Amino acid sequence: MSRSLSLETLQKIGQTVELGGWVNAVRSHGKLIFLDLRDRAGIVQIVLNPQTYGHDFSPVKKLKSEDVISILGRVKKREGNLVNPNLETGSIEIEASEVKTLSEAEKLPFDLGAKELDLSLVNLLDYRSLTLRHPKVKAIFKVQETILQSFRKTMKEIDFTEFAAPIIVASATEGGAEVFPVDYYDYRAYLGQSPQLYKQIMVSIFERVFTLGYAFRAEPSVTTRHLSEYRGLDVEMGYITDFADIMDVVEKVIKNVFADLKSERSVELGLHETTVPQISERIPRIHFKKVKDILFVRTGRDQRGELDLEPAEEREICRWAKEKYGSELIFVTHYPTKKRPFYTFVDPSDPTYTYSFDLLGRGVEWVTGGQRINKYEELISAMKRKNLNPADFEIYLQAFRYGMPPEGGFCIGLERITQLVLGLVNIREATLFPRDMERVDQRLSVLQPHTRKVPQNLYRAITSLLEKEKIAFKKFEHEPVYTSEQAAKVRGTKLEEGAKALIVFADQKPLMLVLSAAQKVDVAKLKKELMIKNFRMASADEVKALSGVEIGAVPPFGNLLNLETFFDAKLSKNEKVSFNAGEHTKSLQLKYKDLEKLVKPKILDFSK
């Protein structure tokens, strides 16, 4: 007998079927055992009755969540109040006559059968192979699949050709420093920041092209909306009139994605209690300069001289678009020339702006794009203005030397659009196996003394760094001090000027917190800021293992210890700060702004 899927049993009432899947839940009711069996199609209830089972019942009693089983049984219709309206197969059940265990699961670290996984992000990702099985988590990637399919379908409908772009490249696409170098035989190569240059080359061959590929950004960032590896839905098209043609295509893609999600993924959207964004018949298109003016009027903050939009400004202009146009999405057009890549077409009427755009939705960027420079000499000049060497872009420039039509394109971040449609807090939730500065499957920062590099002499490492960077500082040598109060007294400095460095664990991850010696950590506030569940101070042994020094001598240089570091916002009120520098008998004093410049911490408000 061939295996049936759970949903297929609805058409097989009265028949004997073979099913296979995972035990989603186990319930006992008197002598009866009820199993929820999960397969790729859904969940179906299995009834095990010792009177009708016909085999040794003792192994069945030992079944537990995530055991993999096959069952033989008869499909029975449920009557009256036995029907489960919350289950797609709730009108039937399977009376099992035989059960085989194909694979036993270990005891689960959490309740996978719960409606919600009450896990921190760290644990959600640490147990990724398991958490992906949960219906609500699995739904994220069914939604993502539909976004991909819809995008590809739209592209084919309007005569775009799909191609595969290389990942290993000879130079940085955008000319920036945020690249991952690769040892490529005896040469240096890089992981591609985007397929941008290859998209443009392919326009000279197929006119209209798209690619679904990976891109890599070595950004030292762990924000809720950045990844080191992400997938881009990249599009490029030739023979455009101007960049309005590109926005028309973006609008078509987005509207089709929303329509397909509504028709195909209502169940998955319902699990996340969300709907696709509301948009007007035509998504509003507003010049960058006008956006800045609108924001000034609405907020009273004069940011009109800034060359980009801050996250708070993106959120505010989205609110404005919804109020004025009934649209949760808005095109911001004509970004300043200084903030766009070298290949961006400059607005002929005002060269300080470009023919470029971002599509913002629900307060965050969804799409970025624009018209490109298509004339060879202009492209060379633009490269030189950005201090790029044209010789590093030979294959790319070759396409322009031999004729390139007016063209442009855009990129949609797949994980980003998934996150925003579903209202997920963190983009890592919308990524199967996220890569960032803290994780490649496993957490890189888990306490591993044998791999963690700690300077042998922390005091010397700090003073050498200060001297190398030509930063003025003052040395103190004094009797041993073990408290902030003792240190302030022996240095002759104010208590609040002390930069107190604490090593802590947040959801099992070691971090450094730096705050004024006059302040204490507000744990509730910190948990909210970091979106963590568990917090504790490191033990003396853990401090020694992570820093190489004793408690009370830890300096505020988490960057030298490979620890993610957070400074409390109140510390910046001090012009100068002082701290024990790896030893109880040695302290240093320097300007706060110099300390922040060297350590590059994240600034949060977590003290009381």
Binding residues: 174, 217-219, 225-227, 365, 368, 372, 413-416
Which amino acid makes up residue 24? Answer: N
Return the exposure string of 490-519: e unless at least 16 CB atoms fall within 10 Å of the residue's CB, then b. Answer: bbebeebbbbbbbbbbbbbbbbbbbbbbbb
How far apart, in whole angstroms, are the C-alpha atoms of residue 360 and residue 329? 6
What is the bridge-based pairing of β-strands 439-440 and 499-506?
unpaired
DSSP state of 344: B
- Do 436 and 531 meet the contact criterion of CB atoms below 8 Å apart? no
Residues whose CB falls within 8 Å of the CB of residue 20, separated by 6 or more in sequence, listed in order: 3, 39, 68, 69, 70, 71, 102
Q: Residue ranges for the binding site for L-aspartate?
A: 174, 217, 368, 372
- Do 126 and 443 meet the contact criterion of CB atoms below 8 Å apart? yes
Residue ranges with strand state E in 49-166: 68-77, 92-103, 161-162
Which amino acid makes up residue 235? Answer: V
Residues whose CB falls within 8 Å of the CB of residue 8, separated by 6 or more in sequence, listed in order: 17, 41
How far apart, in whole angstroms, are the C-alpha atoms of residue 602 and residue 596? 9
How far apart, in whole angstroms, are the C-alpha atoms of residue 360 and residue 317? 9
How far apart, in whole angstroms, are the C-alpha atoms of residue 20 and residue 43? 11
Q: Residue ranges for the binding site for ATP?
A: 217-219, 225-227, 365, 413-416
Phi, psi of 420 (to 5 degrees): -75, -35
Task: For residue 56, give the nearest of 25, 110, 101, 14 by alpha carbon.
Answer: 101
Name 209's bridge partners. Answer: 161, 236
Phi, psi of 235 (to 5 degrees): -135, 145
How far apart, in whole angstroms, are the C-alpha atoms of residue 403 and residue 337? 24
How far apart, in whole angstroms, are the C-alpha atoms of residue 248 and residue 227? 28
Which amino acid makes up residue 489? Answer: K
Which amino acid makes up residue 347? Answer: D
Chain centroid offset of residue 127 CA: 17
